[in-house]
């Protein structure tokens, strides 16, 4: 009961402080593209634009605008075209949502609610995953993120811009510590190395097969963190031997040697040229054998069952990105430029950060009495212009 009360208190605290931050004048100053943006009285102020981006809906952008303004002003709501919102969103940087996300993280991991942070054997479980995302078909977006050319038996067909999403995600506390949207040609392993800046000593990194290489495990250990990674059948020689044996519940310690291709990088970064790891085999319900590589060497503290079976369920790669990337509403990435696509992605991610906490606080009726967004009401000027 006390735990549920703390969860509700944290959710209410977070929603209140997010509202305060949304209407804080300094937020606009820090994250507008030009000094003259969002300076005149208008309907689509910066907090309202951010709230519209944060809303997750599969409705058309125009329908969402009508509903949003109706909730604010009722029958007297001004008529605003979708193009006006697109114009207003172009003035906002994606960094505004990064700041909101930092507020979420400070709340989740803060001392006031430290007892609510879920850990595994004292460790944070962090998943890293990447996926490709189709972006709005516009020349500027394609120039920044790259194009994918479609073709069939009739020859070349349409093309569309495509980006790569990468996320560092706390799988037990359901928050993203870091994420990025880059060109689709950028390697997922390169982005994973960038996420390590947000990793703390003692964290356990969970990754799928595509990440398990010597450079990755050495980099994780250099951060004084641990790893549990799925291995492919073409991985290290010791892994290939375990696949050939095809036996479950096997746990062996092996020494991995740095391949020639990464030795120069290891010397440059100060990483060791050999690492001791534990390999664990797990049999899936489908009958398939999985081999996990981990730096958790203590078999008494981390038994095969705990390290293998329980963590393997967390290693479902697509599940790591699902809270962040889908489904994305039609207005989320509708802005047809590079900045608008990043802002839409960051807003979508920030929404999912506190969606579960808001849901738990719903019983407390933290919203305004008539259902209108409180942050859109607080400190908001009126006016006839759609944006300024």
* pLDDT at 137 (0 to 100): 87
Q: For residue range 230-242, what is the model confidence (pLDDT) as tens digits?
A: 999 999 999 999 9
* pLDDT at 379 (0 to 100): 38
Mean pLDDT of 82-90: 91
* pLDDT at 309 (0 to 100): 53
* pLDDT at 316 (0 to 100): 47
3-state secondary structure the chain: CHHHHHHHHHHHHHHHHHHHHHCCHHHHHHHECCCCCCCCCCCCCHHHHHHHHHCCCCCCHHHHHHHHHHHHHHHHCCCCCHHHHHHHHCCECCHHHHHHHHHHHHHHHCHHHHHHCCCECCECEEEEEEEEEECCCCHHHHHHHCEEEEEECCEEEEEEEEEEEEEEEECCCCEEEEEEEEECCCCHHHHHHHHHHHCCCCCEEEECHHHCCHHHHHHHHHCCCEEEEECCCCCCHHHHHHHHHCCCCCEEEEEEECCHHHHHHHHHHCCCCEEEEEEEEEECCCCCEEEEEECCCCCCCCCHHHHHHHHHHHCCHHHHHHHHHCCCCCCCCCCCCHHHHHHHHHHHHHHHHHHHHHHHHHHHCCCCCCCCCHHHHCCCCCCCCCCC
pTM of this prediction exceeds 0.85: no
Q: Is residue 355's pLDDT more than 50?
A: yes
Q: Is residue 352's pLDDT more than 60?
A: no
Q: For residue range 141-178, what is the model confidence (pLDDT) as tens digits?
A: 899 899 999 999 898 889 999 999 999 999 889 899 99
The ranges assigned to domains in the chain are: 2-97+338-377, 209-315
């Amino acid at each position: 009961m006390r735990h549920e009360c703390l969860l509700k208190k944290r959710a209410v605290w977070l929603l209140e402080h997010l509202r305060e931050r949304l209407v804080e004048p300094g937020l606009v100053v820090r994250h507008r593209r030009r000094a003259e943006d969002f300076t005149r009285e208008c309907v689509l102020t910066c907090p309202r634009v951010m709230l519209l981006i944060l809303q997750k809906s599969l409705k058309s952008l125009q329908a969402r605008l009508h509903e949003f303004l109706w909730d604010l002003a009722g029958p007297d709501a001004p008529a605003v075209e979708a193009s006006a919102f697109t114009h207003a969103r172009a003035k906002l940087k994606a960094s505004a949502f990064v700041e909101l996300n930092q507020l979420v993280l400070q709340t989740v991991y803060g001392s006031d609610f430290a007892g609510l942070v879920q850990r595994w054997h004292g460790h944070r479980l962090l998943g890293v995953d990447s996926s490709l995302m189709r972006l709005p078909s516009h020349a500027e977006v394609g120039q920044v993120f790259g194009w994918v050319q479609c073709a069939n038996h009739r020859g070349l067909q349409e093309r569309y811009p495509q980006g790569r999403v990468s996320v560092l995600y706390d799988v037990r506390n359901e928050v993203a510590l870091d994420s990025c949207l880059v060109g689709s040609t950028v390697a997922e392993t390169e982005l994973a190395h960038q996420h390590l800046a947000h990793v703390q000593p003692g964290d356990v990194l969970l990754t799928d097969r595509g990440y398990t290489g010597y450079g990755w495990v050495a980099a994780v250990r250099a951060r004084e963190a641990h790893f549990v990674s799925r291995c492919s059948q073409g991985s290290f020689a010791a892994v290939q031997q375990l696949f050939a044996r095809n036996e479950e519940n096997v746990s062996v310690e092996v020494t991995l040697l740095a391949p020639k291709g990464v030795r120069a990088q290891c010397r440059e970064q100060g990483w060791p040229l050999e690492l001791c790891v534990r390999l664990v085999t797990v049999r899936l319900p489908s009958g398939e054998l999985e081999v996990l590589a981990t730096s958790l060497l203590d078999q008494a503290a981390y038994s095969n069952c705990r390290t293998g079976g329980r963590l393997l369920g967390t290693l479902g790669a697509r599940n790591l990105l699902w809270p962040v990337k889908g489904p994305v509403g039609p207005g989320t990435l509708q802005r047809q430029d590079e900045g608008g696509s990043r802002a839409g992605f960051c807003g979508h991610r920030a929404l999912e950060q506190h969606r579960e906490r808001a849901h738990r606080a719903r019983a407390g009726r933290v919203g305004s009495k008539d259902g209108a967004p409180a942050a859109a009401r607080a400190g908001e000027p009126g006016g006839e212009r759609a944006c300024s």
